Structure 1
Amino acid sequence: DMALQKFTRAILSGKKIQVYNYGKHRRDFTYIDDIVEGVVRVLDKPATSNPEWSGDHPDSGSSKAPWRIFNIGNNKPVDLMDYIAALENALGKKAEKIFLPLQPGDVPDTYADVNDLVEQFNYKPSTTVDEGIARFIRWHLEYYES
């Protein structure tokens, strides 16, 4: 999700940010370190093929091919306005906002179902939005402002 980078650059440069659906979105923001940890954990347990799998009666949890799909997400949807407030807090600067309607094809709420990840790997991302944003801002300021 590019919102964090886009919003950060706009706020730091005094530009307005576009807030769709009048800020009434809920999203599942996941910190990059949590994603990497999830990927590393699944690498140690490769998928196996299901020789009984049939296209006539497909099982969405398996395949003839040795693959699996796991959602690696925070599973804690956050109100967009709370996300923006956390960003403003980390930057020490208020965002100027332009509130816009829901865009065609967008949905108000999204979040990752991580049940399979928890069941098979005993892993659930844990970095809070406030903590993740604060870490990102420290990195961003060091990388771009130094």
Structure 2
Amino acid sequence: NLRGQLCCRHNGVKHLVFASSSSVYGANTKMPFSVSHNVDHPLSLYAATKKSNELMAHSYAHLYNLPVSGLRFFTVYGPWGRPDMALFLFTRSIISGTPIDVFNNGHHERDFTYIDDIVEGVVRVADKIATPSAVRNYEATDPAISSAPYRIYNIGNRNPIKLTSFIECIEAKIGRKAIKRFLPMQPGDVASTYADVDSLVEAVGFQPKTSIEEGVGKFVDWYLSYYKPDQSA
């Protein structure tokens, strides 16, 4: 992130938009997660690095007047994602008839956000150049704004889905039941995520459009077309 900011500074970039993560909310329990909440208790090193990216971006915006906007992504899913993500692993295992690991005994809730909605939000924010806030005591009122040209937004579907319901959507699309292996929560994980996107709606008119059924359906169609797995198992 710091290298990217340096490149932006020396190449006349008018607005830097960078990806953060819902993981920064860490031990927070107040729902939905708001950009106005304090995020000083990350539960994983990944979350800590995302928080540090936000801090460095703010410092850069302050020092060099580079407009910067950060987007905290909430559980992005869809085609062309990372093959180690849960949706890939679940789909592959359900098709092959092998067990899937269901952590926290299936009690997780996630604000799953389809990639097309994420991309639309990023494009909209890119056109909304961050400006300094008129609120002078921002540090005491809202950590998402600043006297520097800096903004932080949540970008999510604002509709938490139980992990078991997510798995049921995959099962329904594939037409086969998963073999579930229920396990405890992993270290550094959180039980639930839920995005408050009011500031993003107000700033750029963001409105997620993709239901979990539609998004999972599109993913499975793509997966079958791209990987062409043997479905005879």
Q: Please say whether Structure 1 and Structure 2 have the same fold, judged by a TM-score greater than 0.5.
A: yes
String of CA shifts for 1:9-47, please: whole Å, max 9, x gaps: 111222110001111111110000000011111111110
Note the C-alpha offset of 1:108. 1.4
Q: 2:96 — aligned with what?
A: 13
Change (3 A) 1:20 1:87: same
Q: 2:169 — aligned with what?
A: 86
Structure with bigger strand share is 2
Residue number among 45, 49, 52 corresponding to 2:132 in the alignment: 49
Is the partner of 1:104 in helix, strand or coil? coil
What TM-score comes out, normalization by structure 1 length? Answer: 0.89
Give the root-mean-square deviation of aligned CA atoms: 2.1
Q: Quote the sequence identity (%).
A: 53
1:31 touches 1:132 (CA, 8 Å); kept in 2?
yes
Note the C-alpha offset of 1:65. 3.6
Note the C-alpha offset of 1:119. 1.4
Change (3 A) 1:109 1:68: same
2:143 maps to a residue whose letter is: S
What number of residue pairs does the alignment pair up?
Answer: 146
Instruction: Tell me, in whole angstroms, the C-alpha distance in 2 between the residues paired with 1:47 and 1:63.
Output: 10
Q: 2:189 — aligned with what?
A: 106
Instruction: Tell me, in whole angstroms, the C-alpha distance in 2 between the residues paired with 1:115 and 1:82.
Output: 26
Instruction: Tell me, in whole angstroms, the C-alpha distance in 1 between the residues paired with 2:150 and 2:194.
Output: 22
Task: List alignment gaps of at least 5 residues for structure 1.
Answer: none
State how 1:12-31 maps to structure 2 within 5 Å: 12-31=95-114
Instruction: Tell me, in whole angstroms, the C-alpha distance in 2 between the residues paired with 1:57 and 1:83.
Output: 38
Q: Which has the higher contact order (CA 8 A, sep 6+)?
A: 1
Note the C-alpha offset of 1:55. 9.1
Note the C-alpha offset of 1:102. 1.7
Is the partner of 1:126 in helix, strand or coil? coil
